[in-house]
Amino acid sequence: MKILIIFAGGTIGSTIKGNCISIDSGKPSILMETYRKKYGLNFEYETRTPYMVLSENNTGKNYVDLVNCIFDNIDNGYDGIIVTHGTDTLQYTSTVLTYALGNKTIPVCVVSSNYPIEHPEANGIENLRGAIRFIEQKGGKGAFVVYKNNDDIYPKIHRANRLRAGYVYTDRIDSIFDMPYGYFDNDENFVLNSNFVDFEGDFEPIGRLNIGPQCDFIYRIYPYVGMVYPRFPKTVKYVLLDSFHSGTIDTASDAALEFYDYCKQNGIKLYLTGLKNAISYEGTLKYRELGITPLYDIAPIAAYIKGWLYGKL
């Protein structure tokens, strides 16, 4: 087996210095040596480092560089590719890989670590182990995220564009609807989740990206009680409205109604994320009337990234 490992930074590529976590250019070799000591190395691997940043500092330029690195190497005889990454924006980057690559390539697994790997509670080596086993067992095609939460015995395999946004005060990674792509059993054998449903099905992959550092035509809004609604520069064409947990937003206050009318008058299209299976509360019946298009069964981050990469919603 031959694997390409792409190092892109994040906590898994960082070291604790005093009270600060910072990028360590020597961490890739330390990561692999730590893995070798625990599990051995029964495969060949090569490495690439298109950039090394803490993931909260990612921009569209990083995504162009990462995707180019993958396409420059994907047909070079590898059984799979592993991308090491930070947890803060893992959902964004992994979704980029989904839409750039499609679901028919060799497996590309994004792995991260909740702490620098020398920390006793770090899960990075176990996540790396899960990715290697998944590739070895030909568990699937396209992009995936491999991650072990604190209450997991083994890492789970997630479809890369099916992740919830990160939680504050915790380092959990979960699929929307709590529906991962698969698991590992006690013998480290991959088991496909028979209940997993990929609602999007097949789609045309984008390939190499042509995006700038920022997405200036999509705006995301998070609801809160008493919120003040923004006004936008002329570049904004679409607004993604995140919803409360039950898929609702304010459809009654003067501030909300004035905002929806402002968007309609300025040709800005509104989309609502966070909805499942067309479940309706009283407020949801007003969405169409207010010019809001509901998006069902797609992760909010995936809706944003998909719109950015394809240039439209």
According to the model, what pLDDT value does residue 25 have?
59
Based on the domain organization, do 151 and 258 belong to the same domain? no
**Domain annotation covers residue 206:** no
**Averaging pLDDT over each range in 31-40, 43-52, 210-219, which range is the top one?**
210-219
- Whether 176 and 231 share a structural domain: no
CATH code for position 92: 3.40.50.1170
Q: Domain check: are 156 and 229 in the same one?
A: no
CATH number at residue 233: 3.40.50
User: Which of 176, 192, 208 lies at the terminal end of a domain, its last residue?
Assistant: 192
- If asked whether residues 153 and 28 sit together in one domain, one would say yes
Residue 15 lies in a domain: yes
Question: For residues 44 and 33, which has the higher predicted lDDT (pLDDT)?
Answer: 44
Q: Give me the residues paired with residue 145 across strands.
A: 110, 158
Q: pLDDT tens, 252-307?
A: 999 999 999 999 999 999 999 988 765 555 556 788 889 999 998 899 999 999 99
Residues 111 and 249 in one domain: no
> Model's pTM, two decimal places?
0.92
Residue 201 lies in a domain: no
- The length of the chain is 313
Domain count, the chain: 2
In this structure, the answer to whether residues 147 and 48 fall within a common structural domain is yes
Of 157, 192, 227, the position where a domain reaches its end is 192
Whether 210 is in a domain gets the answer no
* Residue 249 identity (one-letter amino acid): I
Same domain, 142 and 35: yes
Q: Reply yes or no on whether the pLDDT at 31 is more than 90.
A: no
Considering the domain architecture, whether residues 187 and 224 belong to the same structural domain is answered as no
Both 165 and 251 in a single domain?
A: no
Distances (CA, A) of 130 to 1, 90, 96, 208: 15, 17, 21, 27
- 23 has pLDDT over 60: no
Last residue of a domain, one of 146, 175, 192: 192
Mean pLDDT of the chain: 91
Range of the structural domain that residue 294 is part of: 218-310
Neighbours of 292 (CB within 10 A): 21
Instruction: Indicate if 149 and 226 belong to the same structural domain.
Output: no
> Is position 160 within any domain?
yes
CA-based angle 246:247:250, to the nearest 5?
A: 105
Instruction: Reply yes or no on whether the pLDDT at 54 is more than 80.
Output: yes
Instruction: Return all residues near 18 (Cβ < 8 A) that are at least 6 apart.
Output: none
134 and 269 in a single domain? The answer is no
In this structure, the answer to whether residues 144 and 104 fall within a common structural domain is yes
Reported as type and span, the H/E element at residue 99 is: helix 90-101
